[in-house]
Structure 1
Amino acid sequence: MRIFTVSTVGALVDSAAQQYGPRPALQDGALSLTFDELRERAVRTAAALGRAGVRRGDRVGVCMAKSADQAIAVLGVLLADAILVPVLPKLKREGVAHIVRDSGMRLMITDEARAREVIEAVPELPLLYGSEADVDPSLILPRLRGSESPDGGRAGASIGPDVAAIIYSSGSTGRPKGIMVTHRNITDGARITAQYLGVGPDDRIGSLLSLNFDYGLNQLWQALLTGACLCLHELVFPADAFRFLHEQRITVLPVMPVIITRLFDPRLLRRRPSYDLSAVRCVSTSGGAVSQRMIDDLAGVFPAAEVFLMYGLTEAFRSTYLEPDQLAKRPNSIGRAIPDVEILVLDEDLREVGPGERGELVHRGGCVSKGYWNAPEATAARFRSLPQFPGERVVFSGDIVTRDEEGYLYFVGRRDAMIKTSGYRVSPTEVEEIAAGFPAVETCTAVGVRNIEIGEDIALFYSSTGAEPVDEEALRSFLKDRLPSHMVPRYLWRRDAFPVTGNGGKIDRQELAAEAAMLVSGPGDEDR
């Protein structure tokens, strides 16, 4: 398999059209686009953005349902030498407004389903309608693409170190921070992942993942790099997903634990799928711990598939993977470093720890991003230099791990209080800020409770402003109206007082987390 070395998304799109032009690149239901057609539509989109006043380095949001139109919009933004800002469609108004204003967004590409909410969240933001479908005339949004031919080729001014995307991911405190991902981060991530997964032009990648985050977007970059076809599917019902995998003859299937849980949810899947799924040769997972039950479920329906367990962080995309032949031998390992990456395990004094000793996972080499947008202090805390690697910045993950004698890594826990749920990293402070706005809540603290199905559930401890009990149904409704579904606490518990630490009387999150674990534990909860 021949993989050309490219360092920008524009070069990736051009190279794909040159090498694989008439081959299928993107499948979205009945719509099929070749690499030539995908490039042509992306170039038209870039030209339309230029006519709308977008210039090199401008931040352009994309808030759309997963579709060929969304993929084309993403590529068009990058071919226009602008900076892509993916916006999760299910975000509430406060979240959308924060991303728009923090990024300094020039305009947003959206679709009919999300346009009204975006308009209500940030009425001053210019919008372009990025769908080929008929537009709601009451919105009066200009279309992104016209019928005119693009002016020449794409602009192509971007180079590898330029920022290509700002991907918003929660920090340990406060609002989500934007992670600056470069063009070279994108192309290196595609090259490295395709290398160890063995992706090639005969593969068909099943896209069950969102195109709003690095893991889902990486499937688009891999397709362009290798000539594989990316087949889009919006996961709602498991039976439909298995039929999609069968009909499209999917060979490579990237998933997350939350997707595995949904695919095999007994409430939605009455019986094992009877489709021929033997074409699936590779399943890759990231975004949380994978239980033995999940692995057994995958093996039961994908008999020919090798399972690759992967670990990563958006600040450096992908750090480790566990080879399929090590799965049974090391079921709890997150593997070893991916190609072109070195993983260090350091103590508080920045010394490498020995086998079995705990330390922080530190990533150096491939895919290290540029840091956080508009957050120099947070960048300095996470992206640091080490004396043994002068002139280089490495990423301190905040994850505590151990390493065995053969170099395989094992996750222990987070250094901070981050909650990882359904593939998302959630800052407790984000939940607490919203919950504190409920009139009867005085103090509140959010913690994670381990749940192997989705990583962690969110539990909220709160105290009330008066003697009367808080109406928890009203509180839950309040939270659902203001938070994305993955951030709504599963558990609500009232406390009259909160435990505090010895240093300054801060709320003791560790004690609350231990209490939460005890409250939900019980007989038969082996997987929790």
Structure 2
Amino acid sequence: EFRGNPMLATATEVQPECPELREVIRLDEWEAFLADGDAWEGELVDPDPMDACMIQYTSGTTGFPKGALLFHRGLVNNGAHTADRMGVSDGAVWICTMPLFHTGGCVLGVLSGVSKRVTLVLVEAFDPGLVLELFDTYGGATMLGVPTMLVAMLEHPDFATSDLSHVEAICSGGSTVPAPLVERFEKELGAPFTIVFGQTELSPVSSMTQTFDTIIDKANTIGPAMPHVEVKIIDTETGETVPVGTIGEYCARGYLVMHGYYEMPDATAETIDADGWLHTGDLAAMDERGYLSIEGRLKDMIIRGGENIYPKELEELLFAHPSVAEVAVVGLPDEKWGEVISAFVRPAADATIDRGELFAYLREHLAPHKTPRHWFQVDGFPLTGSGKIQKFVLRDQWVDGQWTELD
């Protein structure tokens, strides 16, 4: 059964509309393509570490993707440092569930794996049962996956009977990992669990927890900055560095910062300032040890009647409720308040979403103005190619009248 991206059909369909598209190269006719080529008679030149080698498109969780221009030095070093901090052993078996078109696969899979000389088991398309079977078959020792993948594995009926005795390192990232999920993985796998944080423009990891961190730090922080990386938290209005414990925008600087957005100089200038700091658009705080906690995205932050609401706080509380498998808290437009808080909830297996129960549950922990006004039950979320929830799609669908509120 084909479940991938029909790239050939898509390319063939759009080719008449793309006058500069000279040729579509088919991978199933690769040998014929090579035979038609001219032999290279010159000398191969060693690349400079700063040479661009990849245009990687951002995942588009808040809008249209942009092409991040990445380079050898940033990618190779970032992959190696991430494998080190994960605790991957030399020669281990790595079950690679992340797609290779994404930095989570081509950097935090291939390049991280090469740095440790691993056996890399590629998963063509993520399926939780298949991944568990591959751990069984090959004695898988390590894996990196976004939270939606890990949740699917936990919920799969084969999870309890799978042989995971070889597991030595599990890593997650791509979005905030709820505390209950961190705690469950650490307990049930008996292996160090780490969390990466960053973005495509940072090659991609800028902060990461460590294997020896406490459960509390693994659940509530994204750890300290990566080696040879600077991180600061700034006031979004003044640009000044904020005091310890204060929420502001997460900025990073170092070898890992992209060259820029491909053929988008204005967007590049908006993201990388004159001093080389990349402004991530993420809201974070730093403690006195340098450990960082993510409070949400600037674009995700809900402004209700002038009050700033951070969806992450609500999402973690809701995720801890037994009837909730996944949740996305979104700000929906409102004439009176500007935005109102709304919760899109996927129920756990064999569970029923009770709006009144969840409302009362949140009221035990939150102020009244932080409690969602609208509640929606979902079977699945719109996702990017790398498995992140696209909140702007949910917002647009609601505006278009595609959602019916729970009673």
TM-score between both structures, scaled by the size of structure 1: 0.55
The yes-or-no answer on 1:273 pairing with 2:164 is: no
Q: Which residue number corresponds to residue 394 of structure 1?
A: 277
Q: Which residue number corresponds to residue 196 of structure 2?
A: 310
Question: Would you say the 8 A contact 2:86–2:170 is kept in 1?
Answer: no
**Distance in 2 separating the partners of 1:160 and 1:175:** 29
1:208 deviation in Å? Answer: 0.7
Cα 1:490/1:176, change in 2 over 3 Å? closer
Bigger mean CA offset, 334-343 vs 284-293:
284-293
Q: How does 1:50-449 map to 2 (within 5 A)?
A: 90=5, 113-123=6-16, 124=18, 125=21, 126-131=23-28, 143-146=32-35, 155-169=44-58, 175-218=64-107, 219-265=109-155, 269-270=156-157, 272-299=159-186, 301-303=188-190, 305-316=191-202, 317-330=204-217, 331-347=219-235, 348-386=237-275, 393-417=276-300
Name the aligned partner's letter for residue 286 of structure 2.
R
Residue by residue over 1:9-53, the C-alpha shift from the partner in whole angstroms, topping out at 9 and shown as x without a partner, is: xxxxxxxxxxxxxxxxxxxxxxxxxxxxxxxxxxxxxxxxxxxxx
Aligned residues: 330
Gaps of 5+ in 2: 303-310, 320-324, 336-380
1:351 deviation in Å? Answer: 2.5
**Distance in 2 separating the partners of 1:202 and 1:462:** 55
1:156 deviation in Å? Answer: 3.8
SS of the aligned residue for 1:159 comes to coil
Name the aligned partner's letter for residue 413 of structure 1.
G
Q: How does 1:445-456 map to 2 (within 5 A)?
A: 450=315, 456=328
Name the aligned partner's letter for residue 26 of structure 2.
Y
Cα 1:359/1:377, change in 2 over 3 Å? same
Residue by residue over 1:360-395, the C-alpha shift from the partner in whole angstroms, topping out at 9 and shown as x without a partner, is: 111011311111111111111110133xxxxxx121
Gaps of 5+ in 1: 1-64, 67-88, 91-112, 136-140, 387-392, 420-446, 464-479, 497-515, 523-528
Question: Would you say the 8 A contact 2:67–2:262 is kept in 1?
Answer: yes
Question: Would you say the 8 A contact 1:458–1:491 is kept in 2?
Answer: no
1:264 deviation in Å? Answer: 2.1
**Distance in 2 separating the partners of 1:222 and 1:418:** 33
Q: Percent identity?
A: 23
1:223 deviation in Å? Answer: 2.5
Cα 1:154/1:369, change in 2 over 3 Å? farther
Q: How does 1:2-81 map to 2 (within 5 A)?
A: none
Question: Would you say the 8 A contact 2:62–2:299 is kept in 1?
Answer: no
Cα 1:373/1:270, change in 2 over 3 Å? same
Question: Would you say the 8 A contact 1:242–1:275 is kept in 2?
Answer: yes
**Distance in 1 separating the partners of 2:41 and 2:220:** 53
Question: Would you say the 8 A contact 1:127–1:142 is kept in 2?
Answer: no
Residue by residue over 1:469-520, the C-alpha shift from the partner in whole angstroms, topping out at 9 and shown as x without a partner, is: xxxxxxxxxxx99x98965538944699xxxxxxxxxxxxxxxxxxx9xx77
Question: Would you say the 8 A contact 1:257–1:454 is kept in 2?
Answer: no
**Distance in 2 separating the partners of 1:263 and 1:287:** 17
Cα 1:153/1:298, change in 2 over 3 Å? farther
Cα 1:149/1:192, change in 2 over 3 Å? farther
Cα 1:146/1:242, change in 2 over 3 Å? farther
Q: Which residue number corresponds to residue 357 of structure 2?
A: none
Question: Would you say the 8 A contact 1:357–1:402 is kept in 2?
Answer: yes
Cα 1:237/1:222, change in 2 over 3 Å? closer
- C-alpha RMSD of matched pairs (Å): 3.9
**Distance in 1 separating the partners of 2:399 and 2:36:** 60
**Distance in 2 separating the partners of 1:462 and 1:164:** 45
Question: Would you say the 8 A contact 2:95–2:122 is kept in 1?
Answer: yes
Name the aligned partner's letter for residue 408 of structure 1.
Y
Residue by residue over 1:431-457, the C-alpha shift from the partner in whole angstroms, topping out at 9 and shown as x without a partner, is: xxxxxxxxxxxxxxxx99958566737
